[in-house]
Structure 1
Amino acid sequence: MATQKRAEVTRRALLHAAAEVFTHRGYAETKLSEVLTQARVTKGALYFHYASKEELARAVIEEGTRRFTAVCTPYLASPTPASEAMIGISFVTVDAALNDPVMGATFRLITEMGDYRSSETDTFATWITTYQLLARRAIDEGDLREDADPDAVGRLLVELFAGARLLATATDTPTTLPTRTAMAWDLLLPVLVTTPKIDYFRQFVTRRLPTVRLP
């Protein structure tokens, strides 16, 4: 039991260290020696858990996707109006990506590795499906315009916010993501939301900004 516990502690240390390095260096520039130094473990311990850098990246992506799903679940399972949930998730994921190295690394890795897919998860598919489900609910609730295509809306939101994250990474300005997210919603709301409720949702977006913790 003690051996299993030590192995799990080592695995988590490697995962967290890899996430830190992947976030700052990207997949191509990350060296396993730097991960070892950050995690303070031996090369043997690394290869006991992960056979390669790619396998380590896969583990980070899978854990990051699990965490992403966890932060989205309360919005999907609660009576929160779907339009508020869509806005809330966009800020929660920004918050998590800024303050949780594993989620931050996940978003960077799935962008940089192109057509890479882990063995069990597809973060973009999860993200798109979540927004599409919420868009359908928002239409039924009368907040989203009834002529809106929920599948197209869900995909557009992911493309927009993933693009903003990519630009923030490329320009080393991740702490601007909360403001960029608010600006995006300000432009989107008149297009997506029924006219009488635009001001309400703009205020809702504004109220979300102070809750985002910056490092």
Structure 2
Amino acid sequence: MQVRAETTRGFLVEAAAKLFDERGYAGTSISDISALSGRTSGAIYFHFAGKEKLALAVVEAHFAAWPTLIGDARAEDRPALEKLVELSFTVARAFRDDVIVRAGSRLWMERKAIDAQLPTPFIGWIEVVTELLEEAARRGELATGVDPVIAAPGIVYAFFGLHTVSDALDGRDRIEERLHDLWLLLLVALQETPDPASLLARVHVTRAARETAGAPA
């Protein structure tokens, strides 16, 4: 019974995410979610007390997507800056292709209209980037004079700013191309021996190999 309830909740969260992504929080009603999911409004209220609880569940699912991706990236025995760059492409693809991730991002931007306490974004990303830069420093990859604690927030600002601009321009269709160009700029300052093109080429080869093997890229 518990498994069935969790499956139904997951189904409703995904249906709600599709509508929140397309229409935003204010533009989505329980009736809309009912129509898309094929579940009655009563069934939805049985699992979620209201639209704000559904929105909270979508945002929480958005945040739940990251730990596995981060853990997989950090566990690899590769240069830390390569792991950081590859992780950024994996996250960019998720923001482009994963409806839960997209909806969670949009809902957080509309948080003032939602009567629920949503998790705070960005802090975790700053911590992850800081740790990867510190690893790069220990391994002699990071340019002398670059302070991971100072550099990490700037990288996160640039990354999520890129997402905002890309979403406005073409719905993130060219996000990977733009991210490549951003790293060409950032790596000049970050690498001990600057060679952004070679690092990016290695990352793209690794990602292509993952795709061929059927793993997330």
Task: Provide closer, same or farther for how the CA distance between residues 19 and 166 of structure 1 changes in structure 2, counting only shifts above 3 A.
Answer: same
Q: How many residue pairs were aligned?
A: 211
State how far apart, in whole Å, the 1-side matches of 2:62 and 2:189 are. 32
Q: Aligned residues: percent identity?
A: 32
**C-alpha contact (below 8 Å) 1:91/1:208 kept by paired residues:** no
Of 109, 112, 119, which aligns to 2:110? 112
The runs of 5 or more residues in structure 2 that have no matched partner are none
Other-structure match for 1:101: 99
Q: Does 1:76 align with 2:40?
A: no
The runs of 5 or more residues in structure 1 that have no matched partner are none
Instruction: Map 1:40-189 onto structure 2 (within 5 A).
Output: 40-113=38-111, 121-189=119-187
The one-character-per-residue Cα deviations of 1:45-85 (angstroms, maximum 9, x if unpaired) are 21122222222111111111111121111112332321011
Task: Provide closer, same or farther for how the CA distance between residues 196 and 177 of structure 1 changes in structure 2, counting only shifts above 3 A.
Answer: closer
Task: Provide closer, same or farther for how the CA distance between residues 28 and 172 of structure 1 changes in structure 2, counting only shifts above 3 A.
Answer: farther
Other-structure match for 2:37: 39
**C-alpha contact (below 8 Å) 1:15/1:60 kept by paired residues:** yes
State how far apart, in whole Å, the 1-side matches of 2:158 and 2:57 are. 26
Which residue identity does 2:12 align to in structure 1? L
**C-alpha contact (below 8 Å) 1:11/1:49 kept by paired residues:** yes
**C-alpha contact (below 8 Å) 2:141/2:192 kept by paired residues:** yes
State how far apart, in whole Å, the 2-side matches of 1:117 and 1:90 are. 31
TM, length-normalised to structure 2: 0.84
Task: Provide closer, same or farther for how the CA distance between residues 204 and 110 of structure 1 changes in structure 2, counting only shifts above 3 A.
Answer: farther
Task: Provide closer, same or farther for how the CA distance between residues 142 and 28 of structure 1 changes in structure 2, counting only shifts above 3 A.
Answer: farther
Other-structure match for 2:7: 9
State how far apart, in whole Å, the 1-side matches of 2:202 and 2:77 are. 16
RMSD: 2.7
State how far apart, in whole Å, the 2-side matches of 1:51 and 1:86 are. 39
